[in-house]
Amino acid sequence: MFEKLSAILADIKIQHTVFALPFAVISAFIAAGGLPETEKMIWIVVCMVGARSAAMAFNRIMDARFDKENPRTQNRALPAGLVDGKSYWLFLIVSSAIFIFAAGMLNRLALILSPVALAIVFFYSVTKRFTAYSHFWLGLAISIAPVGAWVAIREEISFVSLLLGAAVVFWLIGFDILYSCMDVEFDQRSNLKSIPQQFGVEMALRIAFASHGLMVLFLFVLMFFAGKLGVLYLSGVVIVAGLLIYEHSLVRPDDLSKINVAFFNINGIISIGLMFFVIADCVWM
């Protein structure tokens, strides 16, 4: 049992919760106007881990037959036979239950919206079958993190949380397009859709760059609506813009060898780094 759980956690890359979690923390600090209640933050983290674990499990189950044929994904738990489908479904159900329970511990609105959030994050996993704009759906799924954290603190959906959510949407669109460039040939053979598959890698890289430009724009606009954000936050946005430019400099239509560095390392730095700048502005300034 523990071997299967370990294989599932490795397969869904539980550590990659780091991508979305910092934006939930950012939203919580802005919503609280400073340091949020410790109990609230604990339940927000539980929500994040539960929702992402459920979403990734659903994704692995839905994509198992494609993963088995794709050389890049053949070593995942289901196609490699490390875990059976029933165990993955059980993990999905338990993760979903944990998320809903944690949402209920936050407030009534969070509980009411929790099934909607799960529906959105699950829906992403089937979008590549019928639309090239599946990247948008992934962005929408991850944007639940900052919007949900705002609901957790204030029990409302505000314009500020939607601005931050919009920044997250375009951040995800940009780097998911980059990541999808590695699967263009497989997507074409398997009739799976993506922006690189539909428009070619060169145009896809331009769209990804434009998406990241919109992310920076939304982050900049956020400063004028979010209360305590000031010079430190603005410095963080400038650094984020610089890191995104560097990220795109690593990837060229004829050289995709550094996509993993651009995808994992730089985007992890972006989310965690911006979180620290926001915390500094909210708590110390």
Q: What is the pLDDT of residues 93-119, one digit of tens each?
A: 999 999 999 999 999 999 999 999 999
> 149, 144, 145, 141: which is closest to 176 by C-alpha?
141
What distance, in Å, lies between the first and last C-alpha atoms of the chain? 49
pLDDT at position 89: 96
**What residues are paired with 134 via a beta bridge?**
none
This prediction has a pTM of 0.92
Round to whole Å and give the CA distance between 169 and 165.
6
pLDDT at 283 over 90: no
Cβ-count burial of 214 within 10 angstroms (0-12 exposed, 13-18 middle, 19+ buried)?
middle
**What residues are paired with 255 via a beta bridge?**
252
pLDDT at 5 over 90: no
Specify the range with the lowest mean pLDDT, choosing from 3-7, 94-98, 135-139, 176-180: 3-7
What are the residue boundaries of the structural domains of the chain, listed by start? Answer: 2-283
> 200, 190, 199, 173: which is closest to 71 by C-alpha?
190
Kindly tell me the sign of the dihedral angle through the C-alpha atoms of 45, 50, 56, 59. Answer: negative
pLDDT tier, 15 (very low <50, low <70, confident <90, very high otherwise): low
> 278, 237, 231: which is closest to 33 by C-alpha?
278
- Report the percent of the chain where pLDDT is more than 90: 69
Main-chain phi, psi angles of 252, to 5 degrees: -130, 155
Helix axes 38-62, 134-154, angle to 10 degrees: 160
The residue-averaged pLDDT of 205-234 equals 94
pLDDT at position 187: 86
pLDDT at position 42: 97
The residue-averaged pLDDT of 218-234 equals 91
pLDDT tier, 285 (very low <50, low <70, confident <90, very high otherwise): low
pLDDT at position 70: 87
pLDDT tier, 264 (very low <50, low <70, confident <90, very high otherwise): confident
Contact between 135 and 194 under an 8 Å Cβ cutoff? The reply is yes
pLDDT tier, 248 (very low <50, low <70, confident <90, very high otherwise): very high
pLDDT in tens, 188-216: 888 899 999 999 999 999 999 999 999 99
pLDDT at position 38: 95
The domain covering 2-283 belongs, at the CATH homologous superfamily level, to UbiA prenyltransferase (1.10.357.140)
Contact between 150 and 156 under an 8 Å Cβ cutoff? The reply is yes
- Please give the C-alpha separations between residue 26 and each of 9, 71, 247, in angstroms, as whole numbers: 26, 37, 22
pLDDT tier, 182 (very low <50, low <70, confident <90, very high otherwise): confident
Structure tokens that stand for 74 in this block: 């053949």
